[in-house]
Amino acid sequence: MSLALYDLSHSPYCIPVKRILDAAGVTYEVIDVPNWDRSKVIELTQGAYYQMPALKHGDRVVYETGADTQDVARYLDATFAGGRLFPAKYAGLQDILVDYLDNEVEGATFRATDVFYVPSITDLVARTMLIRHKERKFGKGCVDQWRQQIDQLRAGAATHFARFDAMVQERPFLIGDQPVYADFLLYGIIGNYTWKGWNSLPTELTALGAWRARMSGFKF
């Protein structure tokens, strides 16, 4: 059964999906969706959704049904990962971690990436459409404001990352001996934050650096 991933390459939510699929040894097609033109996803979902990632697995289309759901990850877990991403014994703890990652951590890090990502778009119309999309949610001039705050944004990201560095000082992954969805989500957030070398993990966070290397090569 063919599997297609509708992808935005640097997305903190697409990177985990690709890492999960690679860890599970799944063959899949990547369909790139420009940030400023979501028509492929809109057509796929018949207008029900416009964000990435989205999956087409045979005749089934999978996407997030709510603001705080993990529908795509849970589908991958049930279909390819054998329930390893959402083990019942860690349900409450993982819910807390994922909520923190989705809100406080990703909220701090994506801004530091957008400071560089938005100007990197050379097409004027595409760049303007993306800026307008950002401004509808975060206010007029938000990208310029984030650019002025880059030092504070990086300091905030470092504070969040230091907490995860402490978590993996004595164990290989965030909760135990095997990675769960929270590990993959953190891996995606760090991948987004460090995209193209625009930002970097603090060098003193050696345990987190070692954890990231383990995540990069992990196979189920």
**Got the DSSP string for 1-30?**
--EEEEE-TT-TTHHHHHHHHHHTT---EE
Q: Report which residue type is found at 105.
A: V
Spatial separation of the C-alpha atoms in residues 15 and 18, rounded to whole Å: 5
Give this prediction's pTM.
0.96
Q: CA torsion 182→42→10→22, rounded to 10°?
A: 60
- Domains of the chain from N-terminus onward: 3-81 (3.40.30.10), 88-217 (1.20.1050.10)
Integer CA distances (angstroms), 147 to 12, 108, 116, 153, in order: 20, 13, 8, 9
**DSSP state at residue 55:** E
**Looking only at Cα atoms, what is the longest distance across the chain?**
50
Cis peptide bond prior to 179, omega within 30° of 0: no
Neighbouring CB atoms inside 10 A of 4's CB total 16
Tens of each residue's pLDDT in the chain, 220 residues: 899 999 999 999 999 999 999 999 999 999 999 998 999 999 999 999 999 999 999 999 999 998 889 999 999 999 999 999 999 999 999 999 999 999 999 999 999 999 999 999 999 999 999 999 999 999 999 999 999 999 999 999 999 999 999 999 999 999 999 999 999 999 999 999 999 999 999 999 999 999 999 999 999 9
DSSP output for 175-210: SSSS--HHHHHHHHHHHHHTGGGSS---TT-HHHHH
